[in-house]
Structure 1
């Protein structure tokens, strides 16, 4: 069967099943290869900005040398052709190196250097780079705690002048604000003022530092009129969706305007498990829809080409402002703009060169975007659709109708390209992804287009907007239903080796599988393809068997006699202690479903003692999973209505709630527990530094029971006061404070000398937890670090055979042993 005819592609991504999707028979890589070279250079150089200038000089010298050689000797022969073809890529590396060298100094201006190096406080003006809203109420009737986190720019910093006065200096430093108190809604572009402490991040991070407010951070300026008007439209659309219920109402704002605040954690997990996460929020397909609509209307109205293109550019800019500039939308908008400018010039733009130009332009403007997963996935999906969808469709047409072959080829090509990168985020392959995307594809454009129309109508004709929103709700609910069903099918997720090894392994098997199926068709003979197919199938069986076998062996090796368990509940704490059939739970994490899964895995039905160290969401958000299952609860000071709601919910479930402070004590099976913090006679404001610190040690009947100290989220100053006020003895296990943040009193960990340090932390969290400096402190203290992000569930059990040691078991990954020898912890104290 002959290959399909070549047709130009202006914009496609993992959501597109556009009517003009076909791929040229021979990919034009003249701009794609330099873009790839520049992108790789940016990935390397943003992690080492000091090397950018030497790299630029070297690349320019190499390009000049190559040009000189070609001028003297010409371009004859294969070697000359390769040399000539390499020059654009070398120049792209030089351009990106120059961009990094020029941008790096502005990211760490002298006015902030002291605050970054010494952790000193500084007065700043922040400008929000995203809209933030107060946490939504949960189904249990109480909501979030501890503020929200948001990306922002430091646009001004207070600097002391030689005459002693303080004057604001203008800067532009990208940061991540932690614990931002929000009541209601703060639109993108809002300016806030306050005193903060900066926590520096690695050079390659897109954010320069984490910002922790140490005083009230208050709004001082509203966003510009354009941004404010766009936020009013978004807020109006969210209000318009209030009468609707279910997953459709939660998903539609993300599909139409990029607002995901209503998407619940379980719906988000279902979308990811079914490979539909690209539909959770706006992606590049929306740009194609907007441009296509405007150009179509202009063609019907017989507007001149320059007018059509100009109106399309304006509409595209307005759309980006409306949905906020996420990496995939920025990439798609730049690409669409290049295509439109090519149209007005009368020169056709082929898809792959346009993508290359868009990638190169975006990375030059912001080199630090090169490392973002969202940007990477967006580019890979688009490139796959431009290069791979056509050949895949041609192969599938041998056994399927052309329309069905194309419908399957589009999501399959995107998933094949993106899955190796997704392995780095979650070591699993969604087997139902293609099926789910085929079913969802017809509904996605309808929900997007009709939803945007409802958003624009809301401030003008609310009644009509409500009717239109109801129409858009139907396809959104259909997509959410597909995600729910596909994510729960048997075998929906295939376990896969994690990390870079797993990603490279999947990429290699994917390429081999494509070759085996004749994609591209002109590569290799039929005999070679059969051999590759057999080898690929054998390798796949071996990998699947090894992965499943390893998981089964780990499950079989999981100690049933565990005494301490750290649950893998994302960014948060949930630690269990079991003693003589009594169970204590210290904090619950943020998500009830994850906590419930951990409790079910460990066979814990009843909790004798629940310790809520404080009421932040990542410590108390999972409470709904244990309401009605707890006998006694220890809580610290409450300061907000939602804190009181947590206490009331637990009491209504039959728990006895005790407000405790330093000096309280009791028993848990063969253990004795004692509260060391907060102080009983000195007022402490609710929050991190009011965390309950609880110590557990073996009682008289259990001299060999392991000891543990759980530090909640105490900051360095509170830890220092704790160490000064309490005679802290060494322990076997320390629950590290605040998920491993850098705000720690280092001598405390040396004093405790714990052979095992537990850190409850979410994978790829935006807080920089755990901090490298803290890990070095724990290593110096001889502690084996057990992290929930890399190790999953962690269990400590008795050594057996009369040994006083403890055995450590982790669900995945390898443990840096530290003081641990052969899996055993030294004798408890």
Structure 2
């Protein structure tokens, strides 16, 4: 008598086998990221060192050495591929042209639909491939990834895949990406041929969906295209900010959630039609491919598409789904295909959210299921909590702030999220075939969309909804360590209740902190809010405040005003109408009384003016007049500029015609300069106004367009620079900062110091920074 049986592998062997792909993917990602910031030589060195680690690890039978060798093997792949891309990026001919800022004719193929910049109303941006650049002396050919910067409405009429020829200037790009150059267009585009069929199909779907939602009132009409294909161009800026604040932004960025819903729906229909395995796989692949084509090559879309492809292959092979290897394979393939993805925050956040879902959400749901909770309800609670834990270190590292209302808002949003996404995508599909059908489905989708809008707006109004936290790598790593410790302690049964009790007490203690914390310090003079690449300053005005500029993001200026305890604005000053000074106006107006708005004539900045005019409603809009004086308690404001005869023909007339104010706050002087450049500063010098002050708001984010005599005439003790980290303009320029420091000024900048508050107690001036 004999028996046949199969020995199961040891648990440790199963773990090692299951984690090999994730370890390889981690090595690929790390090496790609290092290669993007390094050069060809560093990439070759990394490849050689990691190859040696692989060889040594294979000889050792130890688990740790084997894991290191597995990571090193991935690093060899990542470093090799990235080095080849970096070598192409750093082509000597192109590098010479960017260094010289050469003028010539560029032949481009657009990779994405051109969109208006969120920072400047007169700027259109798009990613593109540079096929050739011709100057009077030379011509270079290639296929480089570039950033296109242009102006003019004709650019907005182009679609992805369009080949264009345009007169342009080549400039150097920011390091750390595969972007080889910035192409600054110097004229309208000249189309050269039609886009490929997939791009024409995507444009057709987007255009028909935009036409279909015209039958739906705003803001639902702007939300539906965002939910369907990630097109936020029609979405209200304030609502978009509320979605970010409340952690609902993943719904308006096509991700794995969208693909899983749509592919699942298509597979369900295929099963209902009794389709075979091959037909089901083909239908799912077509659905995933259509979403990728219409939404475009966004990081989350590519990651999700590869994961969906792996799942469909497993289905076709009749094998069970292995989620973590599928995610690792997605990371591996996407980064090897395009190493630039390794440096994109959207890709990292998408992967982190998936890791949190796979490693934590299902594990945390089991105890709830054992206590009688239905599986769907348990997962509805644990999925937003797990994904929030997973992405928090990245959000902290990026300096994006942490939403304290994300988990409850996402829990409530789950009631309608799946239906509204399916209906929105259905509206796009129906409109592409027959517009009346698309209009009907869009009207149905608008009903659950109203619930999402209410949640976003209500959640964003909660005091302390967005917790501003210090940014940077070390803060991100620190928060990851703390969260890992908490999650680890929760796995210990003896400690679980105690840890949960501590977390509950901390959460309850945060409620009064959010409701009652904040307020300006004693002797407050001026605060420069950290609003990224833009300006927003606040001064006391008795029982109210004066706000000068509002930055580009409503949520950020709103959080700053909440922290200062500002409930009423005696005067809102808009130095000029560029987006980086006006787009956040909703964050000031919503929930606060604003007595009046002071601004210059709009000039060329018509987009920003129209936006302000629409948002302001019944708030009086006053035109700044030189010599005019406003007094609020111990604060006195005198208008120094713009001149009565507005400057024209300058590099930027809206900048040079900025409202310039001299403020006196309880004996401390502040010069608020907007974005005045060379001509505007010379006009102030020649105007005879008193420019020497205690505090200077450095003009135009500290750009190079500064008159040395103007900075020396101001002779401030403290200089404030409103600037975003890693901005594409190179602000601030070290030259003007050096002039100020040589004159004895202490220079503070929001990209390094966060929110900056100047106060005076007696004869002593104090500066407080809060990252």
TM-score bracket, shorter-length normalisation: 0.7 to 0.9
Matched, 1:809 2:768: yes
Identify which range, 89-98 or 615-624, moves more after superposition: 615-624
Identify which range, 563-572 or 723-732, moves more after superposition: 723-732
Identify which range, 421-430 or 474-483, moves more after superposition: 421-430
Give the corresponding residue for 2:746: 784
Aligned residue among 619, 628, 636 for 2:581 = 619
Q: Which structure has greater helix proportion?
A: 2
Q: Distance in 2 between matches of 1:442 and 1:644?
A: 37
TM-fit CA distance, 1:87: 2.6
Give the corresponding residue for 1:824: none
- Could you tell me whether the CA contact under 8 Å between 2:602 and 2:654 is conserved in 1? no
**Against the structure 1 CA distance between its residues 604 and 563, is the aligned structure 2 distance closer, same or farther, given a 3 Å change threshold?**
farther
Q: Which has the higher contact order (CA 8 A, sep 6+)?
A: 1
Q: Distance in 1 between matches of 2:565 and 2:423?
A: 47
Q: Distance in 1 between matches of 2:367 and 2:335?
A: 35
Give the corresponding residue for 1:822: none
Q: 1:574-633, CA deviations, whole angstroms, 9 ceiling, x for partnerless residues?
A: 33567999987544434567657766746585656x764432222344567679733864
TM-fit CA distance, 1:748: 6.7
Aligned residue among 510, 528, 534 for 1:572 = 534
For structure 1, the 5+ residue unaligned runs are 1-23, 137-143, 519-523, 814-829
Give the corresponding residue for 2:287: 315
Q: Distance in 2 between matches of 1:634 and 1:66?
A: 68
**Against the structure 1 CA distance between its residues 720 and 183, is the aligned structure 2 distance closer, same or farther, given a 3 Å change threshold?**
same
**Against the structure 1 CA distance between its residues 203 and 751, is the aligned structure 2 distance closer, same or farther, given a 3 Å change threshold?**
farther
Q: Distance in 2 between matches of 1:614 and 1:646?
A: 11
Aligned residue among 21, 44, 47 for 2:37 = 47
RMSD over aligned Cα atoms: 4.5
Matched, 1:124 2:106: yes
For structure 2, the 5+ residue unaligned runs are 1-13
The secondary structure found in structure 2 opposite 1:397 is helix
Identify which range, 595-604 or 430-439, moves more after superposition: 595-604
Give the corresponding residue for 2:345: 373
Aligned residue among 417, 438, 442 for 1:465 = 438
**Against the structure 1 CA distance between its residues 408 and 597, is the aligned structure 2 distance closer, same or farther, given a 3 Å change threshold?**
closer
Paired residues in the alignment total 745
Q: 1:697-756, CA deviations, whole angstroms, 9 ceiling, x for partnerless residues?
A: 879xx9x64252615163xx7589779988997654333343345666789757865443
Q: Distance in 1 between matches of 2:503 and 2:57?
A: 43
Give the corresponding residue for 2:191: 220
- Alignment of structure 1 residues 68-147 onto 2, 5 Å: 69=59, 75=61, 79=62, 81-119=63-101, 121=103, 123-133=105-115, 146-147=121-122
Q: Distance in 2 between matches of 1:129 and 1:612?
A: 36
The secondary structure found in structure 1 opposite 2:330 is helix
Q: Distance in 2 between matches of 1:448 and 1:742?
A: 47
The secondary structure found in structure 1 opposite 2:371 is coil
Aligned residue among 355, 364, 369 for 2:327 = 355
- Could you tell me whether the CA contact under 8 Å between 1:34 and 1:88 is conserved in 2? yes
Matched, 1:256 2:228: yes
Give the corresponding residue for 1:444: 417
Give the corresponding residue for 1:155: 130
- Alignment of structure 1 residues 720-739 onto 2, 5 Å: 732-739=694-701
Aligned residue among 238, 250, 254 for 1:282 = 254
The secondary structure found in structure 1 opposite 2:662 is strand
Matched, 1:696 2:671: no
Q: Distance in 1 between matches of 2:264 and 2:373?
A: 27
**Against the structure 1 CA distance between its residues 777 and 357, is the aligned structure 2 distance closer, same or farther, given a 3 Å change threshold?**
farther
- Could you tell me whether the CA contact under 8 Å between 2:464 and 2:515 is conserved in 1? no
Matched, 1:797 2:770: no
TM-fit CA distance, 1:130: 2.9
- Alignment of structure 1 residues 527-566 onto 2, 5 Å: 527=494, 529=495, 534=498, 555=518, 558-566=520-528
Q: Distance in 2 between matches of 1:92 and 1:155?
A: 30
Give the corresponding residue for 1:712: 675
The secondary structure found in structure 2 opposite 1:401 is coil
Give the corresponding residue for 1:420: 393
**Against the structure 1 CA distance between its residues 35 and 550, is the aligned structure 2 distance closer, same or farther, given a 3 Å change threshold?**
same
Q: 1:512-535, CA deviations, whole angstroms, 9 ceiling, x for partnerless residues?
A: 4434443xxxxx5x44x35xx646
Give the corresponding residue for 2:426: 453
Identify which range, 240-249 or 315-324, moves more after superposition: 240-249
Give the corresponding residue for 2:362: 390
- Could you tell me whether the CA contact under 8 Å between 2:603 and 2:654 is conserved in 1? no
- Alignment of structure 1 residues 162-173 onto 2, 5 Å: 167=139, 169-173=141-145
Give the corresponding residue for 1:11: none
**Against the structure 1 CA distance between its residues 192 and 783, is the aligned structure 2 distance closer, same or farther, given a 3 Å change threshold?**
farther
Give the corresponding residue for 2:52: 61
Q: Distance in 1 between matches of 2:425 and 2:490?
A: 40
- Could you tell me whether the CA contact under 8 Å between 1:66 and 1:83 is conserved in 2? yes
TM-fit CA distance, 1:216: 2.4
Identify which range, 399-408 or 591-600, moves more after superposition: 591-600
**Against the structure 1 CA distance between its residues 612 and 378, is the aligned structure 2 distance closer, same or farther, given a 3 Å change threshold?**
closer
**Against the structure 1 CA distance between its residues 582 and 766, is the aligned structure 2 distance closer, same or farther, given a 3 Å change threshold?**
same
Identify which range, 356-365 or 179-188, moves more after superposition: 179-188
Give the corresponding residue for 1:327: 299
The secondary structure found in structure 2 opposite 1:758 is strand
**Against the structure 1 CA distance between its residues 325 and 787, is the aligned structure 2 distance closer, same or farther, given a 3 Å change threshold?**
same
- Could you tell me whether the CA contact under 8 Å between 2:106 and 2:134 is conserved in 1? no
